[in-house]
Structure 1
Amino acid sequence: MNYNYKRKQHFRPAEEKRKHGKQARIGLHLGLLLGLAGLWATPGTSAPTDTNVDPAALHAQLQGEITRELSVAAERYQWQDYRAAINITLPTSVKHLPACDTPIVIAAADQQSQPIGNLKRKVSCQSGPQTWELNTTVSVALTLPVLVAKSTINRDTKIDATMLSQQTLTFRHDKAFATQPQQVIGRLATRRIRTGQVISPTYLERLWLVEKGEEVLIIASKHGMQATTKGIARENGAQGEQISVQNQRSAKVIRAIVSDRGKVRTIF
């Protein structure tokens, strides 16, 4: 006996409809989950990612570098009880720069002898998939006690302690000034210095602490360790100046900073 099986006419379409309905519900649920995940990942407005430079961290690094430069200058020029107001201006584009794989390098981009006034600093990333560099402006106002003329000092007058007084002033430009009496006492004034005027070493006859051809003590210090050796000065030098010195032992010529009578410190 033969049977002819005839499927219901609307069986397949109904089955397909149920499948599509189930898939649509699954897709809706996935969409909601992905949307919630997106909200959790980026709350509020789009936040910077770890792949970009952190402006706050860069600002802190610049602050630390300028503080270090001030500390070095204070030791070199014998500043005491100084205060510095440091204002750093970063370009707005800094937040779009890629993060650097190695420590960021900060270098002076001006010719100022002291870190006072408007300073130019070049900040650069020198390694990684994308190197970059940018220029920043740092403003430093330095307040400290300095020497001023107690009374008028005429030209060719030898400075003594009675002609000096101390006054706390704020400098917003790179300017030469003296802070310790021993820096100026015994030197001749090369110009007239008015009462209350800052005593600048540039107004005085140069006082050589090291003279060309004389033997000097070379002091090298780093990370708390110190070593000394003897050398021969190849040029005259005043307090804080850089001069060429020949190491007596190795005969190598180096650059060093005059720190005291017959003494120089190596530059690192």
Structure 2
Amino acid sequence: MLMRTLFLAIAMLFSLISDQSLAATSAEQIQQATRAFVQEWADQRAKEGLKIAFEVGHIDSRLSLADCDKPLDAEFAGSPLETTRPSVLVSCSGKRPWRMYVSLSLEVHGPALVASRALARGERLSEQLVTTQSVQLNASHKGALFNPEDVNGMMMRRPVSAGTMITPDLLEAPDAVERGDHVIIIARSKTFSIRSRGKALANASVGEQVLVENLSSARTVKGTVVAPGRVEIPM
């Protein structure tokens, strides 16, 4: 009788250990958590007028991570609007924490600015030269632009054909001063400033440095373009 009781106790112990070792988070659970997270994100983007199509990447069915005693967390590892293959970080914050990345195939379609006709390098944009069309926003990792006012007055860095999505890398600010322009030189300290007239010796945009000749002293100084026709020099 004692041997039988001992045998049953050992059997129950091994059974408990076996059950605990088999308790795991399956690949299907991770896929479900990923799918639910992305679907919720897609539903929110739909309210903004975007159309989302996605497919969760394959997860090896043999994967076995520790059982999680809390709901699984999920978040994008980067911006989903800048790539067609974003990753979702799925993690467990329970007693036996773990993290893993799940790949995703994603398409995001929505309205953005495109060229209304072919545009040449150096051409200055106006609101009439762009139009809004539905495009795949995440086809380029360079981002998209949505407001025509944001491109008004900007210059094209390179030529594009009609229908090309306008991205920030295609644009540059026009020169605020050009070589030979007469400019106002502002020598500024914390307590006062002195103004004089000068001549720009090169082209430069706002925020860039440029050499200018002081017309009063004939000295050449370097300053920062702060506005069209204005160059500031710290004292």
| Structure 1: gaps (5+ residues) | 1-49, 208-235, 237-268
Name the one with the larger strand percent.
2
Structure 1 residue 57: deviation in Å? 5.2
1:115–1:159 distance in 2 versus 1, CA, 3 Å: closer
Structure 2 residue corresponding to 1:160, chosen from 126, 134, 155: 126
Gaps of 5+ in 2: 1-21, 175-206, 208-235
Which of 34, 39, 51 is the aligned partner of 1:62?
Answer: 34
Task: Indicate yes or no: 2:110 matched with 1:144.
Answer: yes
Q: Which residue of 1 aligns with 2:136?
A: 170
Residue in structure 2 matched with residue 82 of structure 1 by the alignment: 50
C-alpha displacement of 1:54: 6.1
The 5 A counterparts of 1:218-229 are none
Task: Specify the alignment match of 1:132 in structure 2.
Answer: 98
| Aligned residue runs from structure 1 range 102-117, under 5 A | 102-109=70-77, 112=79, 114=81, 116-117=83-84
Normalised to the residue count of structure 2, the TM-score between the two structures is 0.51
Displacement of 1:95 in angstroms is 6.7
Secondary structure of the corresponding residue to residue 117 of structure 1: coil
Alignment counterpart, residue 99 of structure 1, candidates 60, 67, 89: 67
CA shift, 1:136, in A, is 0.9
Distance 2:77 2:106 in 1: 15
Q: State the secondary structure of the residue aligned to 1:59.
A: helix
1:183 and 1:57 mapped to 2: Cα distance? 44
Aligned to 2:157: 190
1:33-52, aligned counterparts within 5 Å? 51-52=23-24
TM-score with structure 1 length normalisation? 0.46
- Aligned mates of 1:153, 1:58 — CA distance in 2: 47
Deviation string for 1:181-223 (max 9, x for gaps)? 223223222222222211112111259xxxxxxxxxxxxxxxx
- The CA distance in 1 between the partners of 2:97 and 2:51, in whole Å, is 36
Q: For residues 34 and 62 of structure 2, what CA distance do their matches in structure 1 show?
A: 13
Contact map agreement 2:154 2:172 (CA 8 A) in 1:
yes
Q: Distance in 1 between matches of 2:166 and 2:158?
A: 11
Counterpart amino acid of 1:197? T
Distance 1:109 1:54, change over 3 A: same
- CA deviation after TM superposition for structure 1 residue 87, in Å: 0.8
Cα distance in 2 for residues equivalent to 1:167 and 1:200? 14
- Structure 1 residue 68, shift from structure 2 partner: 5.9
Counterpart in the other structure of 2:146: 179
Cα drift, residue 140 of structure 1: 0.8
CA contact (8 A) 2:27 2:61 kept: no
Query: Displacement, 1:81?
Result: 1.9
Q: Which residue of 2 aligns with 1:53?
A: 25
For residue 164 of structure 1, report the CA deviation from its aligned partner: 1.4
Structure 1 pair 159–70 and aligned structure 2 pair: CA distance change class (3 A): farther
2:169 maps to: 202
Which amino acid in structure 2 is aligned with residue 123 of structure 1? V
Q: Indicate the larger mover: 88-97 or 141-150.
A: 88-97
Secondary structure of the residue that 2:34 maps to in structure 1? helix
Higher gyration radius (CA)? 1
Q: How far has the Cα of 1:149 moved from its partner?
A: 1.0
Are the structure 2 counterparts of residues 206 and 83 from structure 1 closer, same or farther at C-alpha, using a change threshold of 3 Å?
Answer: farther
Q: Verify the 8 A CA contact 1:117 1:171 in the aligned structure 2.
A: no
